[in-house]
Copies of this chain bind each other. A is one copy, B any other.
Amino acid sequence: MVLELHAPKGPTLHDLWNSTGSGLLTYLLSFVYVGIYWNNHHHLFQVVSQVDGLVLWANLHLLFWLSLYPFTTSWMDDQHLARVPTIAYGVNLIGAAIAYSILILAIRRLPSSSHMDEVFGSDWKGKTSIVLYALGIGLTFVEPWLGVVPYVAVALIWLVPDRRVERWLERRDEVSTG
């Protein structure tokens, strides 16, 4: 990820605040989001033993949305959390969330993933995220910066890594050992 932060024009804390302002915070938010995907992605491909063309495309589709983060982040930031850019950021978040769901679907349809139902489960986090993103977009019409609140909430939900995959790996190791 190449999220850009531009050095302040002057040497004081005031300059730092003026030039980056909310920038450090939105940078942190987008960094955490990319980290969440990187983290879950890493877990996901630990249990996947087969990859085909559709999975590669679904993966690329996810990458496309993630690659837009620097663009929507800096727009939202430059415009001091104005309505349209904050909506654009939310659309970007929803796009990535849907792309991740599609990637999981593409993996689950493979014969070699038939025994992995418990790994993915009901994906309540994925579904909740999309609802919260939509809520965030809606809240921008009340007060633009309010939309960021649900965006942050989703990041917090995901900060707890998905224990399901780890549990499944542990159980598999037990079975193969015991």
Contact = CB atoms under 8 A, between A and B. Distances in A.
A94 interface: no
Contacts of A60: 35, 38-39
Contacts of A145: none
Given A16-B84, A56-B161, A88-B16, A7 B78 contact: yes
B56 A39 contact: yes
B53 A12 contact: no
A2 interface: yes
Please tell me how many copies of the chain the complex holds: 4
A11 B85 contact: yes
Interface string A46-82: 0000001110110010011001101100110011001
Given A2-B2, A60-B39, A71-B5, A79 B10 contact: yes
Interface of A: 1-3, 5-13, 16, 28, 31, 35, 38-39, 42-43, 52-54, 56-57, 60, 63-64, 67-68, 70-71, 74-75, 78-79, 82-85, 88, 159, 161-163, 166
13 contacts: A5-B71, A7-B74, A11-B79, A11-B83, A11-B84, A11-B85, A12-B84, A16-B75, A35-B64, A39-B57, A42-B56, A43-B53, A52-B161
Q: Which 10 pairs of residues, A with B, have the shortest CB-CB distance? A: A53-B161, A11-B82, A11-B79, A7-B75, A7-B74, A5-B71, A35-B60, A39-B56, A7-B78, A31-B64
